[in-house]
Amino acid sequence: MTQNIFRSIFRRYIVITPILLVLIVAQMEEYSQLTTSGTFGAAIRLAIPIMLAGLGGLYSEKTGVVNIGLEGMMIMGTWFGAWGGFTFGAWQGVFIGMLGGALFGLIHAIATVSFQVDHIVSGVAINILAAGVARFLNVIAFEDIAFASSTASPRITGDIGKLTVPYLAGGNINGEETSNFFGYIEDLNIFLVSDFAGLVLGFLSNISHLTIFALAIVPLSVLVLWNTPIGLQMRSVGEYPTGSESLGVNVYLMKYIGVTISGALSGLAGAYLVIAGTGIYLEGQTGGRGFIGLASMLFGNYKPFGILMGSGLFGFADALQLRSPKAVHGLLVIIAIFLFVLALKTLFEKKYIPSLISLVLSSGFLIWFLNSESIPNQFVYFTPHITTLIVLSFSNQRIKLPEKIGVPYKKGELS
């Protein structure tokens, strides 16, 4: 009994301690960048593509198709988004980017559903195909255009538009600036309250219309997947295709829909990177975010709001590395303390070797923190990737996978 209580406390500890530590460290002058509205705003911008890719993974995997090709579909989204954005305008670019992603989703569906190719093999092939296609298209589409090269597109035309909420975050009404309630609180520097205001302000000020559009997909996905007949059919196909077939569900069609939506959302993720981010297509700009999206889906336990949380976490790590390498240095002491408590935890559970390892690592991080001013740029670059591995290491306990995930289904065959 007591052990259970301790265990549940420790389980929450994994989530709560880092947040508390971040808050405490953020109170120090040097590391105050950790929780400003600017950092949170950047975190949201960086989280959205990961979240969209994660949602894309969700639609596909709920229908039982593993989608490793998210990254490739995202690449198509970046290129088609940039091409559409350059040729027609920002919103058209978003739409064309989604179409490009959906097209590759469709290819994945044809390979895995109609031809029963191994899902991971097909996904890997999709990723390689997308990289090749994007490079080729970029060369032939922008051959004679200035500021374009074989690995970069010209800048998109038009602007997607931004919103700052009036009164709460100081947005304009009829051209006049209004009061900035949360900004005022943030400047007061009260422990916890100001940090929270920073978080809210990040959501309310200077927010791209595309961000709002993307965030709206989260509740929409809950609605579609869990509250509509077609959502039920899609989920049933991932759990028990033979049974669904016997009840008259068109299994192949549901899988096709799921994987194509998955492609469209990944395409949107890629288009977001271009249109709300860099403004141009760059080769390799997705940087493994499709896979991080997949990780956020696992972290979020196959739930849209969980995916939002997970991508927020990865976006935060990404934002720190972009906005304030100094703040990443502050993370070192957080990791050190975290590992120290972990060492105590494992010691309590009588796992001596992991405890010792945690202790050694903890002191290592502490020594590093005390003997350095900042983290080398090259290390800062992979903060999101290492965060992904660390987060997945601590959060994989109770994931409920769709029953028939990754199993090719052929009509009339028992699986």
Partner 1 sequence: MKLSLRIASFSAPIIALAISFGLSSLILLFIGKDPIETFQIMFEYGIKGKSIVSIINRSIPLYISAIAVAVGFKMGLFNIGVEGQYLVGSIVAAFIGSQFSIITPLHILFIILIAVACSAMWAAIAGYLKVKKGIHEVISTIMLNYIGTGLISYSLTNVFDEKGSEYELPRTPELPDTGQMPALNNLFGLEDLQDLHGFLFVAIIVGIFYYWLVWKTTLGFDLRITGSNPIAAKFSGINPNRLIVVAMVTSGGFAGLVGLGPLLGYFHRFTIDFPTGLGFAGIAVALLGRNHPFGMGVGALLFAFLERSSQILDLNDVPKEIERMLQAFILLIVVVFYEVIRRFIVKQQIKDASKKVET
3-class DSSP state for residue 21?
helix
Which of residues 72 and 198 has its CB atom nearest to partner 1 in the complex?
72
The minimum distance between CB 304 and partner 1, in angstroms, equals: 20
Helices 37-62 and 229-239, packing angle to 10 deg: 70
Q: How far apart, in whole angstroms, are the C-alpha atoms of residue 148 and residue 279?
A: 13
Kindly report the number of other CB atoms within 10 A of residue 413's CB atom. Answer: 9
Which of residues 61 and 186 has its CB atom nearest to partner 1 in the complex?
61
User: In a 10 Å sphere around its CB, with 0-12 CB exposed, 13-18 middle and 19+ buried, how is residue 390 labelled?
Assistant: middle
Q: How far apart, in whole angstroms, are the C-alpha atoms of residue 229 and residue 207?
A: 34
The minimum distance between CB 122 and partner 1, in angstroms, equals: 7
3-class DSSP state for residue 208?
strand
Residue 177 has φ and ψ, to the nearest 5°, of -75, 140
The minimum distance between CB 213 and partner 1, in angstroms, equals: 28
Q: How far apart, in whole angstroms, are the C-alpha atoms of residue 173 and residue 313?
A: 33
Which of residues 70 and 257 has its CB atom nearest to partner 1 in the complex?
70
Whether the Cβ atoms of residue 392 and residue 384 lie closer than 8 Å to each other = no
Which of residues 167 and 381 has its CB atom nearest to partner 1 in the complex?
381
The minimum distance between CB 31 and partner 1, in angstroms, equals: 22
The minimum distance between CB 124 and partner 1, in angstroms, equals: 6
Which of residues 73 and 210 has its CB atom nearest to partner 1 in the complex?
73
Q: How far apart, in whole angstroms, are the C-alpha atoms of residue 40 and residue 345?
A: 31
Query: Contact positions toward partner 1, by CB under 8 A?
Result: 68, 107, 111, 115-118, 120-122, 124-126, 128-129, 131-133, 135-136, 139-140, 143, 150, 287-288, 291-292, 294-295, 298, 376, 378-379, 381-382, 385-386, 388-389, 392-393, 396
Q: How far apart, in whole angstroms, are the C-alpha atoms of residue 51 and residue 56?
A: 8
Cα 279 from chain centre: 20
The minimum distance between CB 111 and partner 1, in angstroms, equals: 6
Which of residues 129 and 257 has its CB atom nearest to partner 1 in the complex?
129
Q: What length is written for the chain?
A: 415
The minimum distance between CB 252 and partner 1, in angstroms, equals: 16
Distance in Å from the first CA to the final CA of the chain = 41
The minimum distance between CB 74 and partner 1, in angstroms, equals: 13
Which of residues 28 and 386 has its CB atom nearest to partner 1 in the complex?
386
Taking CA atoms, 75 is separated from 51, 89, 100, 107, 314, in Å, by 15, 19, 9, 15, 19
Q: How far apart, in whole angstroms, are the C-alpha atoms of residue 194 and residue 157?
A: 38
Which of residues 168 and 292 has its CB atom nearest to partner 1 in the complex?
292
